[in-house]
Chain A
């Protein structure tokens, strides 16, 4: 293993992680400096709904595609969403497994699982790029950051698929590419739309709290 690869897998990631943690902390402080709204009225709605239940339901909402019309009626898109985000988790996991637990990748099955999940996520990212560029609704709302973040992820997935076997002796290009991109991501993410997962717990918490208190969450879906 070259010194550059060793540095990329270790110190570079640690520095990048540190920067990301600092920026994220600042992001959370920024968000929390806005005052929180207060509900003075008595709760409304069904007795089964409460603030706490609304919050938990809201957080879990994304894992319950049958609950929202938008996910219920777009099964293929929801599957893409799941695959894409599993790919992200797998690729992030890979960036820790390679330097800290390389033994895991001695198992051919483990490598195959990583490659399959990330490979599928790569395909989804291509589909999403096409959708973003061709769907008139999505194109109308897309900024350069939307395209760049998605394209970057696609490239990252691509490198991750080939980095998964962790065989530097066969060539370091994919491993180097994967770790360089990971480090770039760690620094870039807090400034981009990819930081949405940082906001998710907050937006969902407040929306769930309000909707739970008002008896709207859990959602009362259509009945025939």
Chain B
């Protein structure tokens, strides 16, 4: 009895008070029904990679939430708390410990839920616990920053409208050029389209080729389609933060835009959590009945091929590939056969990884883990299970229908040195699609290509200052940029960076934030305030995306680019070329 009488922090009181409003029958059942049989233990990738630490076991983690439930909502726990392991939370420090578990030791992948004989859905009440902590301001900094961006800017990567439209126009030009048809464009805000296509901001920021590939497929299928100028983000950080209000607001923004455009169907690009949030959870969070159809672009592409609207030649994708099922697609939305059907139509050598479908292991970047840099070492350690799975396939490419998984897999592939590439179905379909002769652009023979084409995307004329305190990262950027023609100079700390900026006047600075001495934020502000250096373009590259706020809140013009580490060759070159307006 004593634990409720002891002093309780304001946040702890609020959390308990709000728990009573969040609980529904499914959650209460799941919280009451666990028999501590331990059958879920080995279902969790964290357990498999931390075999000596029982605190990673799903039932143990669930019990940190269950204890509070029992203490306040279950009669045995109220009367005899010690007997059934019921315990309240009293201090903010205890809430911080809970945060570490619900955000840092679980990706909400739901693998334990489908392995529980009792039907206890731990992932659901773990999300509830996240939401409760967020409601009292306790969350990883990355979650706070991304949530804030999604509330304020309308997308979770802080992509500004101009940047988004610029990218669409750029991709539109590429499409027209590739197809040799000035009418081959990305229609923006077209009314009464049959398909409104929504994307993940990551596509704008790191992977615009997925937008171009999708546009090519829509164009060749003769689709009446459009992309909205606003409310285009189908991702939803509310799923990860457990904040139903954010989830509802984000989903509603998209639904309302589609209705405003009188679109007939909303097609969601390949993103596991985006698909789940928009297609499955959004209407519930927003308490809104959606008046139009919604589907994954995987279904759309498959339908085009089946209906003969596009023709594909699978021999163009002849490298061995494997497929990674996103947890949100497979275990929460039943989307697992369609991607395989599509894959088999566009590749020649598809190899299943084991386990797969509903039993697949998480990419380890799920549940918002990629935005919580404080848990990166833990995440990468737990990724060994996935790495072993990937390695066993012998495939050269891993395909996934989820942007989060793309990042998670890319990171673990680099960490475990697997030498694989990660791609999405849209890229493979676009590569396999047969362009009808009447619109195929005649490609000049190699010898006939003008010399300018060969250097079209070269960085030869540019001087770039790479600033990072880690030697291997500086070396990686330097080699990559020099290979692409740039002249590169390096600085390993803030003071050296400012000195070199003044003496060398580079065209662009890639700037790390976390450095000894003068940090990247201070360097950036000084650069912007110095009239001599203010015009130098800056691309922030940081392993702590949550620090974005510290940069954008400064009273100086924002940087021209902002990238999260780990960054791969493609994303780095793409963004640098974009900033320098090359190609």
- Asked if B495 lies at the interface with its beta carbon under 8 angstroms from chain A, I say no
* Given A37-B25, A70-B43, CB of A216 within 8 Å of CB of B118: no
- Mark out the residues of chain A between 122 and 153 whose CB falls within 8 Å of any chain B CB in the assembled complex: 135-146
- Asked if A165 lies at the interface with its beta carbon under 8 angstroms from chain B, I say no
- Asked if A51 lies at the interface with its beta carbon under 8 angstroms from chain B, I say no
Chain B nearest CB from A52 CB (Å) reads 15
- Asked if B38 lies at the interface with its beta carbon under 8 angstroms from chain A, I say yes
- Asked if B236 lies at the interface with its beta carbon under 8 angstroms from chain A, I say no
Chain A nearest CB from B46 CB (Å) reads 12
- Asked if B488 lies at the interface with its beta carbon under 8 angstroms from chain A, I say no
Query: Which stretch in B332-340, B446-454, B476-484 binds the other chain?
Result: B332-340
Of B26, B281, B331, most A-chain CB atoms within 10 Å: B26
Q: Judging by beta carbons under 8 Å apart, are A223 and B352 in contact?
A: yes
Q: CB < 8 Å: which of B39, B47, B118 contacts A200?
A: B118
Query: Which stretch in B88-96, B99-107, B285-293, B537-545 binds the other chain?
Result: B285-293
- Asked if A210 lies at the interface with its beta carbon under 8 angstroms from chain B, I say yes
Residues on A with beta carbons closer than 8 Å to the beta carbon of B24: 34-37
B284-326 vs A, Cβ < 8 Å mask (1 yes, 0 no): 1001111001100000000000000000000000000000000
Q: Judging by beta carbons under 8 Å apart, are A220 and B357 in contact?
A: yes
Q: Judging by beta carbons under 8 Å apart, are B43 and A69 in contact?
A: yes
- Asked if A2 lies at the interface with its beta carbon under 8 angstroms from chain B, I say no
Chain A nearest CB from B264 CB (Å) reads 14
Q: Judging by beta carbons under 8 Å apart, are A41 and B29 in contact?
A: no
CA–CA, A31 to B76, complex, Å? 14
Q: Judging by beta carbons under 8 Å apart, are A199 and B29 in contact?
A: yes
Q: Judging by beta carbons under 8 Å apart, are A222 and B356 in contact?
A: yes
Residues on B with beta carbons closer than 8 Å to the beta carbon of A216: 114, 330-334, 358
- Asked if A170 lies at the interface with its beta carbon under 8 angstroms from chain B, I say no
Q: Judging by beta carbons under 8 Å apart, are B36 and A142 in contact?
A: yes
Residues on B with beta carbons closer than 8 Å to the beta carbon of A68: 114-115, 117
CA–CA, A64 to B475, complex, Å? 56
Query: Which stretch in A92-100, A108-116, A175-183, A201-209 binds the other chain?
Result: A201-209
Q: Judging by beta carbons under 8 Å apart, are A193 and B334 in contact?
A: no
Q: CB < 8 Å: which of A34, A41, A70 contacts B279?
A: A41
CA–CA, A211 to B334, complex, Å? 8
Q: CB < 8 Å: which of B36, B120, B358, B360 contacts A203?
A: B120
CA–CA, A154 to B39, complex, Å? 21
A180-198 vs B, Cβ < 8 Å mask (1 yes, 0 no): 0000000000011100100
Q: Judging by beta carbons under 8 Å apart, are B55 and A200 in contact?
A: no
Q: Judging by beta carbons under 8 Å apart, are B334 and A45 in contact?
A: yes
CA–CA, A221 to B290, complex, Å? 32
Residues on B with beta carbons closer than 8 Å to the beta carbon of A3: none
Residues on B with beta carbons closer than 8 Å to the beta carbon of A8: none
Q: Judging by beta carbons under 8 Å apart, are A70 and B115 in contact?
A: yes
Q: CB < 8 Å: which of B43, B76, B82, B359 contacts A192?
A: B76
Give the size category of A's interface with B: 35 or more
- Asked if A107 lies at the interface with its beta carbon under 8 angstroms from chain B, I say no
Query: Which stretch in B8-16, B56-64, B432-440 binds the other chain?
Result: B56-64
Chain A nearest CB from B578 CB (Å) reads 36
* Given A46-B337, A70-B43, A71-B117, CB of A40 within 8 Å of CB of B29: no
Q: Judging by beta carbons under 8 Å apart, are A40 and B288 in contact?
A: yes
Residues on A with beta carbons closer than 8 Å to the beta carbon of B29: 31, 199, 202-203, 206
Chain B nearest CB from A13 CB (Å) reads 23
- Asked if A89 lies at the interface with its beta carbon under 8 angstroms from chain B, I say no
* Given A31-B29, A68-B117, A204-B119, CB of A214 within 8 Å of CB of B63: no
Q: Judging by beta carbons under 8 Å apart, are B284 and A41 in contact?
A: yes
Residues on A with beta carbons closer than 8 Å to the beta carbon of B515: none
Q: CB < 8 Å: which of B28, B287, B360 contacts A31?
A: B28
Q: Judging by beta carbons under 8 Å apart, are B83 and A145 in contact?
A: yes
- Total interface residues in chain B, CB < 8 Å: 70
Chain A nearest CB from B564 CB (Å) reads 30
CA–CA, A137 to B54, complex, Å? 5
Chain B nearest CB from A28 CB (Å) reads 11
- Asked if B35 lies at the interface with its beta carbon under 8 angstroms from chain A, I say yes
Q: Judging by beta carbons under 8 Å apart, are A203 and B118 in contact?
A: yes
List the B residue with the shortest CB-CB distance to A142. Answer: B36
- Asked if B42 lies at the interface with its beta carbon under 8 angstroms from chain A, I say yes
* Given A45-B333, A140-B55, CB of A61 within 8 Å of CB of B117: yes
Q: Judging by beta carbons under 8 Å apart, are B40 and A70 in contact?
A: yes
Q: Judging by beta carbons under 8 Å apart, are A221 and B359 in contact?
A: yes
Residues on B with beta carbons closer than 8 Å to the beta carbon of A204: 118-119
Q: Judging by beta carbons under 8 Å apart, are B41 and A199 in contact?
A: no
CA–CA, A144 to B282, complex, Å? 41
List the B residue with the shortest CB-CB distance to A35. Answer: B24
B393-408 vs A, Cβ < 8 Å mask (1 yes, 0 no): 0000000000000000
CA–CA, A224 to B1, complex, Å? 54
- Mark out the residues of chain B between 67 and 99 whose CB falls within 8 Å of any chain A CB in the assembled complex: 75-76, 82-85
Seed contacts A196-B33, A211-B114, A214-B334; 19 additional CB < 8 Å A-B pairs = A34-B27, A38-B284, A40-B283, A40-B284, A41-B279, A41-B294, A45-B333, A45-B335, A58-B119, A71-B39, A77-B39, A138-B36, A140-B55, A140-B57, A141-B57, A141-B63, A208-B119, A216-B330, A222-B356
A contacts, CB < 8 Å to B: 30-32, 34-42, 44-46, 49, 58, 61-62, 68-71, 73-74, 77, 81, 135-146, 191-193, 196, 199-200, 202-204, 206-208, 210-211, 214-216, 219-224
Can you list 25 A-B pairs with a CB-CB distance of less than 8 A?
A: A32-B25, A34-B24, A35-B24, A37-B24, A37-B25, A40-B290, A41-B279, A42-B294, A45-B333, A70-B39, A137-B54, A140-B54, A141-B36, A141-B38, A141-B60, A144-B83, A199-B118, A202-B29, A202-B33, A203-B26, A206-B29, A219-B358, A220-B337, A222-B356, A223-B357
B contacts, CB < 8 Å to A: 23-30, 32-36, 38-43, 47, 52, 54-55, 57, 59-60, 63, 75-76, 82-85, 113-121, 279-284, 287-290, 293-294, 330-337, 352, 354-360
Which A-B residue pairs are the 3 nearest by beta carbons?
Answer: A45-B334, A215-B334, A143-B85
